Amino acid sequence: MCAGLFYLNKNSNFKSDAIKTEWFLLSFGLVTDDGYLTNAGALFADDCWLSQSRLYCTRWDGLEKTDAVNDAEFKGNILLLLREAMAFAKANTRKGWEKLPDGRRNKPEYAERAVLEGCVNHLIHRDYTVMGGEVHLDIYDDRLALTSPGGMYSGQMVQDVPVEDISSLRRNPVLADVMAQLDYMEKRGSGLKKICNATKELETYKEGRDPVFKSSVSQFMTVIYSMEYQPGKSGQLNGTLSGTLNGILNDTLNEKQNRVLDFIAASPGVQAQIIIDQLAIPRDTLNKILKVLTDRELIERRGSKKTGGYYVKVQG
């Protein structure tokens, strides 16, 4: 059965619904006339056997491919890969906020809709005839990049064409039609424009950080830039740390230690689990960082083991 596409409810007529299901699968081009899955059908099947239907995800430490902070590899149908890509992106990007007199304002790094559109585009429009190829999701301090096998199906270089003028030619029309039926995309070829529009709709949108699309004859890349990254400055999440503390500690702590210190300064009383979730730092790594900061008398822990949290001890 194709994952998530059709189901039978407990009050249905099994025989009638089974016929409808078979008709839908045939109509969408997911099975052949004699009942065998097509390649497109296999890409939606629960037990997808196509080896090239894979996703590699990596959170890099810094701006280049140096040390990996977190990585994962997934294999399976398109819906599974899409779900895992979004989960990895959410777990490895910042979800900061800014304190206001009457509350707080959320300051996400990326528009979730932009990331979703990017993932859908790369999973649907990639070249599945490339054996040994897969979709890559790479997250850096300043950007999120998606790459997949296969350039523009029209033969154009995407960087040479205005986004609004990009043709809607589709390499995999069956995949696109099914995803359109599932409301993951539209048939009008507007995915790249949606990525740009969703980014601009962020409250924290900054000029010059618009998404970038690049292609060659063998590869397509989407780059979505972080709205919270500040070059050369620690405390990337909130930017609320006092200038005195920020200036003094940059030279004495490494980047991860500065990020944790800045986060605690911006969120007094924060618990370790919140730091892990928001900064995507493994627990063992965070424990080491907290020990360094505590030993140097930069932070302290107050309260009980269950409800207590961390505070900056030295505030410049």
How does pLDDT run across 256-290, given as a tens digit for each residue? 888 888 788 777 788 898 888 878 888 999 999 99
Residue 158: predicted pLDDT = 86
Is 112 within the bounds of a domain? yes
Residue 231: predicted pLDDT = 66
- In this structure, the answer to whether residues 262 and 168 fall within a common structural domain is no
Instruction: Name the domain count of the chain.
Output: 2
Lookup: tokens for 43: 């890409």
- In this structure, the answer to whether residues 188 and 61 fall within a common structural domain is yes
CB 109 within 8 A of CB 229: yes
Is 257 within the bounds of a domain? yes
Q: Which of 225, 256, 281 is the last residue of a domain?
A: 225
CB 260 within 8 A of CB 289: yes
- In this structure, the answer to whether residues 213 and 249 fall within a common structural domain is no
Is 47 within the bounds of a domain? no
Cα distance between residue 156 and residue 167, in whole Å: 9
Is 45 within the bounds of a domain? no
Is 203 within the bounds of a domain? yes
Residue 181: predicted pLDDT = 85
Is 158 within the bounds of a domain? yes
Question: Half-sphere exposure of 60 toward its Cβ, with a 13 Å CA cutoff?
Answer: 16
Is 41 within the bounds of a domain? no
- In this structure, the answer to whether residues 121 and 216 fall within a common structural domain is yes
The ranges of the chain with pLDDT < 70 are 1-29, 96-100, 103-105, 186-189, 231-252, 314-316
Domain containing residue 155 = 54-225
Residue 156: predicted pLDDT = 81
Cα distance between residue 274 and residue 170, in whole Å: 42
